[in-house]
């Protein structure tokens, strides 16, 4: 389970959203080229039983579609948005601007040129009043866990799964420590 959650081994491939109920998380990327970097995020959302939707909304190529999507997330019951983009990564900031009150987790993607620092600072250096809660470059695991922790504040099942994940990670770390001591 731990490997699957980290995206090292996926039994799902690039997993599809479970359309069992109203999506709570909206996952958007700036381009189809970002999608492979989201695999670990989708695996966690699937494993935790969190309904989500995914899409491609480009701040540069399809700004109107991106704005419409972001404006409507609140009405549609989306509680958290994960927005992933690389390079001139304006997507999370613009989604945060248009959605107004939905929390936006920014996932910087390493672009084909450079190490992803530009993607990262595009998301962290937002003006006051328009926060993007940013995780590390390509850290799709933390983006999903961040969304899960927000939802866990009012959903006991998700809370239990988040805590199980944390406990498993602790057990694995202690196990690794014991192996080194032997």
The stretch near ligand RP5 (CB under 6 A) out of 10-18, 25-33, 65-73, 174-182 is 25-33
Q: Which residues in the 132-151 window bind ligand RP5 by CB under 6 A?
A: none
Q: From CA 13, how far away is CA 43, in angstroms rounded?
A: 9
Residue nearest to ligand RP5 (CB): 30
Q: How many residues does the chain have?
A: 182
- Binding of ligand RP5 at residue 85 (CB under 6 A)? yes
- The radius of gyration of the chain's CA atoms, rounded to the nearest angstrom, is 16
Least separation in angstroms between residue 154's CB and ligand RP5 is 31
- CA distance to 5, 28, 80, 139, 142, per residue, from 133 (Å): 21, 15, 11, 13, 11
Q: Which residues in the 87-116 window bind ligand RP5 by CB under 6 A?
A: 87, 109, 111
Neighbours of 170 (CB within 10 A): 10
Q: From CA 48, how far away is CA 159, in angstroms rounded?
A: 9
| Residue in 23, 26, 86, 146 binding ligand RP5, rule: CB under 6 A | 86
The stretch near ligand RP5 (CB under 6 A) out of 29-37, 70-78, 156-164, 168-176 is 29-37
Site for ligand RP5, rule CB under 6 A: 29-31, 33-34, 58, 60, 85-87, 109, 111
């Amino acid at each position: 389970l731990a490997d699957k959650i980290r995206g090292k081994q996926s039994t799902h491939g690039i997993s599809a959203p479970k359309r069992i109920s109203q999506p709570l998380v909206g996952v958007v990327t700036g381009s189809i080229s970002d999608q492979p970097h989201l695999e670990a995020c989708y695996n966690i959302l699937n494993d935790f039983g969190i309904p989500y939707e995914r899409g491609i909304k480009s701040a540069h190529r399809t700004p109107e579609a991106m704005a419409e999507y972001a404006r409507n997330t609140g009405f549609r019951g989306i509680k958290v948005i994960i927005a992933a983009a690389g390079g001139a990564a304006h997507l999370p900031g613009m989604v945060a601007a248009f959605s107004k009150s939905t929390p936006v987790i920014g996932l910087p993607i390493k672009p084909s040129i450079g190490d992803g620092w530009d993607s990262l600072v595009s998301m962290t250096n937002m003006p006051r009043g328009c926060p993007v809660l940013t995780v590390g470059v390509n850290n799709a695991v933390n983006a999903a866990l961040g969304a899960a922790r927000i939802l866990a504040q009012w959903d006991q099942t998700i809370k239990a799964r988040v805590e199980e994940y944390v406990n498993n990670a602790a057990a694995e770390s202690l196990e690794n420590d014991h192996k080194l001591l032997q």
